[in-house]
């Protein structure tokens, strides 16, 4: 998959960047803008569909409209954690730090979306169940999921500080343990999803992803699917923007934002620095 | 070579403590979130320890006496009468599932101080039938007959 490996970098490929789809160039930026507009357009359709067109639920009334935010937030969080898994595998297979940055960005996104899911779920739960929180298997496992990936990000931070002086290989010393943590964390995703099936819970089971789909009004289902599409596109847009920003702030040959270390600079810069001295 | 930083230790401690707390809290009420009327009735400890009791609110059983709400919960053919202090949530309806928290009294009446309403994964507009008779035609048409 990778080109030739630079022996001078102790077996790790040099961090060449950027790939086309995260490129800082005009093309990459235009692609991201297109995706951003797509997400905005889907959101502009999903909002009136969820707020006005879909009928209020018989039991829950207008509160049920929280579903059009809560479910897509949870879905995109699952997607983000799947991306952490894939990118972590990608890093371990190729030792390419671009994969590592993908994993980091996806984890950031997933943590934010999981927190959003819990917050929206608390509002919905207060209104319909009669409690913000209870020790229900779905709620507990989701909180654990948040904790695990927040821990993943924290671990990256701690490792990055520890190896800050390690030169060009510092990023790899962060990326490898981070990849294992990121992959291990994904074990919780099916636990969260199937918690409502495996254990008795307060939380209702899935509707759209249920094996035999229970009745949902077609307009409600449409609003939900539109919102799912808008969230997915929006999350992908944020992912690519953040990744591009991270690529920009990463000098070639290192995996972390610029440090004053001369070794971290590309050869041309180094020569200039020597000249100045 | 590996020198744990103070930040690292703190983070690890926080994550472990949080995980432990959540796991403990999650598992505390035995391994299941709620128990059925049959399980509660058969358990001698139910009269001394708090438990969650889950079931369907029996239609026609709901009565309000001052600040108390009395109703029956049924599951698998077993019923328990519940006396709830305070108002249940607005979404509380006969025929819906509910989970109550409290202690079984010596008279076999479950004294509850919290009612949580469980709702299903079915969504339909207000102006249609309650779904007690299947096939009102408001669903997606996939299988309206599988309602519980």
Q: What number is the ipTM of this complex?
A: 0.70
B34 CA to chain A: closest CA distance, Å? 7
pLDDT at residue number B145 = 34
Q: Residue A158: which of B7, B34, B142 has the nearest Cβ?
A: B7
Give the pLDDT confidence score for residue A88 in this predicted structure.
96
Cβ pair B126:A215 closer than 8 A? no
Q: Residue B118: is its pLDDT beyond 50?
A: yes
Which three-class secondary structure state does DSSP give residue B90?
A: coil
Instruction: Report how far Cα B21 is from the mean position of its chain's Cα atoms.
Output: 21
Chain A residues within an 8 Å CB radius of B19: 144, 147
Residue A21 has pLDDT above 60, yes or no: no
Three-state SS string over chain B comes to CCCCCHHHHHHHHHHHHHHHHHHHHHHHCCCCCCECHHHHHHCHHHHCCCEEEEEEECCCCCEEECCEEEEEEEECCEEEEEEEECCCCCCCCCCCEEEEEEEECCCCCEEEEEEEEECCCCECECCCCCCCCCCCCCCCCCCHHHCC
Nearest CB to B15: which of A57, A67, A151?
Answer: A151
Instruction: Please list the residues that pair with B79 across neighbouring strands.
Output: B74
Q: How many Cβ pairs closer than 8 A exist between chain A and B?
A: 145
Nearest CA in chain A to B19: A144
Q: What is the pLDDT of residues A159-194, one digit of tens each?
A: 998 888 877 788 899 999 999 999 989 988 998 998
Task: Answer yes or no: do B99 and A202 touch at CB < 8 A.
Answer: yes
CA distance to A46, A192, A213, A218, B138, per residue, from A222 (Å): 9, 25, 14, 6, 14
Mean pLDDT taken over chain A: 83
Mean pLDDT of A108-123: 97
Is B25–A135 a contact, with Cβ atoms under 8 angstroms apart?
yes
pLDDT band at B119, cuts 50/70/90? confident
pTM over 0.80: no
**Least CB–CB distance from A205: residue in B5, B33, B121:** B121
Q: Between chains, do A204 and B121 touch, taking CB under 8 Å as contact?
A: yes
A60 contacts B91? CB cut-off 8 A: yes
Q: Is the pLDDT of residue B136 over 60?
A: no
Please give the structure tokens belonging to residue B138: 């408001």
User: Cβ–Cβ of A143/B147 closer than 8 Å?
Assistant: no
Comparison of pLDDT for A257 and B122, the residue scoring more: B122
Whole-angstrom Cα Rg for chain B: 21
Whether the pLDDT of residue B146 is over 80: the answer is: no
**Min CA distance, A215 vs chain B (Å)?**
4
Across the interface, do A200 and B8 touch by the CB < 8 Å criterion? Answer: no
> Bigger pLDDT: B47 or B58?
B58
Distance from the A69 Cα atom to the nearest Cα atom in chain B, whole angstroms: 15
How far apart CA A64 and CA A252 sit, in angstroms, is 49
**Secondary element (H or E) of residue B68:** strand B68-75
pLDDT for residue B141: 35
Considering only CB atoms, A55 lies closest to which of B22, B120, B125, namely B125
What is the rounded average pLDDT of the residues A117-144?
92
Task: Please give the share of chain A, as a percent, with pLDDT higher than 70.
Answer: 81
In a mutagenesis test of the B interface, which of A53, A57, A59 is the best target, namely the one with the most B β-carbons within 10 Å?
A59
Nearest C-alpha in A relative to B90? A128
Torsion of CA A48, A53, A58, A60, to 10 degrees: 0
Mutate: best of B91, B123, B144, partner A, most A CBs <10 A: B123
Shortest distance between the Cα of B68 and any Cα of chain A, in A, equals: 17
* Interface with A, mutate which of B18, B33, B51 (most A CBs under 10 A): B33
In this predicted structure, the answer to whether residue A210 has a pLDDT above a threshold of 80 is no
Q: Please report the pLDDT score of residue B120 as a whole number.
A: 81
Kindly tell me if the per-residue pLDDT of A153 is higher than 50: yes
The per-residue b/e assignment along A153-187, b for 16 or more CB within 10 angstroms, e otherwise, is: bbbbebbbebbeeeebebbbebbbebbebbbebbe
What architecture is the B37-118 domain classified under in CATH?
Beta Barrel (2.40)
Region A66-80: mean pLDDT is: 96
């Amino acid at each position: 998959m990778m080109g030739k490996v630079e022996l001078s970098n102790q077996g790790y490929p040099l961090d060449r960047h950027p790939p086309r789809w995260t490129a800082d160039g005009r093309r990459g930026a235009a692609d991201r803008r297109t995706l951003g507009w797509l997400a905005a357009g889907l959101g502009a359709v999903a909002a009136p569909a969820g707020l006005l067109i879909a009928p209020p639920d018989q039991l829950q009334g207008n509160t049920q409209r929280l579903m059009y935010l809560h479910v897509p937030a949870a879905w995109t969080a699952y997607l983000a954690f799947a991306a952490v898994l894939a990118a972590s595998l990608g890093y371990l297979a190729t030792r390419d730090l671009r994969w590592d940055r993908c994993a980091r960005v996806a984890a950031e996104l997933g943590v934010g979306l999981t927190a959003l899911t819990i917050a929206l779920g608390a509002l919905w739960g207060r209104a319909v169940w009669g409690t913000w929180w209870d020790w229900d298997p779905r709620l507990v496992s989701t909180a654990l999921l948040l904790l695990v990936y927040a821990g993943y990000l924290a671990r990256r931070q701690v490792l990055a500080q520890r190896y800050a002086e390690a030169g060009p290989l510092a990023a790899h010393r962060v990326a490898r343990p981070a990849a294992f943590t990121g992959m291990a964390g994904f074990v919780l995703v099916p636990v969260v999803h199937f918690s409502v099936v495996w254990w008795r819970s307060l939380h209702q089971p899935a509707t759209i992803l249920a094996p035999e789909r229970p009745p949902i009004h077609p307009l409600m289902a449409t609003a939900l699917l539109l919102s799912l599409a808008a969230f997915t596109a929006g999350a992908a847009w944020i992912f690519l923007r953040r990744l591009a920003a991270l690529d920009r702030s990463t000098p070639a040959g290192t995996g972390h934002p610029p440090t004053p270390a001369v070794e971290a600079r590309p050869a041309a810069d180094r020569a200039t620095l020597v000249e100045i001295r | 070579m590996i020198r744990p930083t103070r930040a690292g230790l703190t983070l690890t401690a926080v994550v472990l403590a949080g995980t432990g707390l959540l796991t403990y809290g999650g598992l505390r009420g035995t391994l299941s979130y709620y128990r059925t009327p049959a399980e509660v009735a058969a358990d001698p400890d139910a009269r001394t320890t708090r438990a969650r009791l889950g079931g369907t609110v029996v239609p026609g059983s709901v009565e309000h006496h001052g600040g108390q709400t009395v109703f029956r919960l049924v599951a698998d053919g077993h019923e328990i009468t519940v006396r709830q202090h305070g108002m249940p949530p607005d979404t509380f309806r006969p025929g819906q599932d509910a989970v109550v928290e409290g202690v079984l009294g010596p008279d076999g009446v479950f004294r509850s101080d919290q009612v949580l309403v469980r709702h299903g994964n079915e969504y339909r507009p207000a102006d249609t039938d309650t779904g007690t008779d299947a096939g009102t035609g408001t669903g997606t048409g996939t299988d309206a007959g599988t309602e519980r």
